[in-house]
A = this chain, B = another copy of it.
Amino acid sequence: MRLKEGNKEQDILNAAVEIFAKHGYHKAKIRDIAEKANVAVGSVYVYYNNKEDILLKIFENIWEPLYKELKKIYENPQLSFRQKFDYLIDLVFDCFIEEPYKAQVFVNEQNFLRKKSPKKFTNYYELFMRTGEKIFKKGIEAGVYNEVDISIFKRFILGGLRDLLLEWANKPNPTNLNNIRESVKFFCKKGILKKK
């Protein structure tokens, strides 16, 4: 039989990330994805059921490693809660540092996709959020974190990160991203008001 040529499945996914990032999911055309992947239009449908399926796969690929890494942080007894917070932030940034297109898709399409297909959206997102929540909860119990409303705080943090990622992704530059990362850590930990 005819063997698989190269890795079309991955090529298509990479192309989709770029096309979705540049034009947005709705304006992105399957034809453009296929062309970018050096693949025929029909081949896209050999590997994915439809356009939405591609986007779902992209988010699966984002949230699965994020969750798995966060789990390690959560379960690591060596780390202080201060460190755990820093590492959580690092995790998100590291996920996108070399991949601004992925960052754009992540920021721009998640809300839409979760609303449209909540059943199909990757479970790793929920797992990630719950694990983050558990870290905060333990940190509060340990008296290290302030007694914030965790469910609100976690959304706030993630939302803030998203906007920063997007801005960076429009003019990607690793140095900037590291500046951003440290700034975020600083004011998430210290807040805006100077200690007296």
- Which A residues contact B (CB, under 8 angstroms)? 1, 24, 26-27, 40, 42, 82, 85, 107-108, 111-112, 115, 136, 139, 143-146, 148-149, 152-153, 155-164, 166-167, 179-180, 183-184, 186-195
Asked if B155 contacts A164 (CB within 8 A), the reply is yes
Note all chain B residues with C-beta closer than 8 A to A190.
146, 191, 193
- CB-nearest residue of chain B to A182: B149
Given contacts A148-B183, A187-B146, contact A164 B160 (CB under 8 A): no
Task: Considering the complex, give the chain B residue whose CB is closest to the CB of A151.
Answer: B167
Each complex incorporates copies of this chain amounting to 4
Most chain B CB within a 10 A radius of its CB, from A153, A156, A188: A156
Shortest distance from the beta carbon of A87 to any chain B beta carbon, whole Å:
14
A180 contacts which chain B residues (CB < 8 A)? 149, 152
User: Closest approach, in angstroms, between the C-beta of A106 and any C-beta of chain B?
Assistant: 12
A146's contact among B26, B143, B163, B191, by CB below 8 Å, is which?
B191
Cβ contacts A to B, 25 pairs, < 8 Å: A1-B40, A24-B112, A26-B27, A108-B112, A136-B192, A146-B186, A146-B187, A146-B190, A146-B192, A146-B193, A148-B183, A148-B186, A148-B187, A152-B184, A153-B187, A156-B160, A156-B161, A156-B163, A156-B187, A159-B159, A159-B162, A160-B160, A162-B163, A187-B191, A189-B192
